[in-house]
Amino acid sequence: MGFVLLGVLFVVLRLGGWVQFHKDDLWAWMIVLSPFLGAVLWWMWADSTGYTQRKAMQAMDERKAARREQHMVNLGQSKGSGKHRR
């Protein structure tokens, strides 16, 4: 996401005329568009190595654990509640 935001910032600066990245127009656009290439390469690597899937599974496991803990608190059976029902 950082690559995309940087690329959008570069495009806005370039089109607005606030920054000249290079004297040659071709090189200037290559510099401006390079963060988008970085984003594509990052996403390709993340998907091919399973990084994206691992992060999604980790987030799902954390949500499940939090939901289970909340249910236990609601039932009064959490470790820190101090209540014991008989």
pTM over 0.85: no
pLDDT in tens, 23-61: 888 888 899 999 999 999 999 999 899 988 898 899 999
Q: How far is CA 12 from the centre of its chain?
A: 22
Q: What pLDDT is stored for residue 17 in this prediction? A: 82
pLDDT in tens, 56-77: 899 999 999 999 999 999 888 8
Cα–Cα distance list, 51 to 47, 56, 64 (Å): 6, 9, 20
Q: How many CB atoms lie within 10 A of CB 65?
A: 10
pLDDT at 82 exceeding the cut of 60: no
Element (H, E) at 35: helix 25-49
